[in-house]
Amino acid sequence: MKAEEYQERTLELGGWPVKITSYRIGETWHAQADNVSPGACLARISAASREDAERQALEKAEKMLGRTRVQEV
C-alpha cells in the first residue's frame, strides 16, 4: 500500500513550533505531530478521518508540551 493525500504544515502550539503530518493508507488516516527544532515525534495517531487523526495528535502533543519546563538562560 502507498500513502495518499499527504499533507504537512507547521503551526504554533503552546508557544512551541509543531509540524503536523497527515496521510491516508487504505481507509485509515494517520497523523504525526513533532516539535520542529529537534524533530522528535510527540504523537502518532490513526483514525477514520483526517480531521480526527490531526485533532487527536494535536491534543496529545499539547499535553506533552504543556508539561515541558522552559529553562531561562
pLDDT in tens, 1-10: 788 999 999 9
d(Cα 1, Cα 45) in Å, to the nearest integer? 18
pTM of this structure: 0.84
CATH value of 4-66 in 3.30.67, 2.60.40, 3.40.50, 3.30.230: 3.30.67
Stretches in the chain below the pLDDT threshold 50 = none
d(Cα 38, Cα 31) in Å, to the nearest integer? 18
For residue 73, what are the CA distances in angstroms to 14, 18, 70? 20, 22, 9
Q: Where would I find the beta strands (DSSP E) of 1-73?
A: 4-13, 16-25, 28-35, 41-47
Inter-residue contact 33 to 57 (CB < 8 Å)? yes
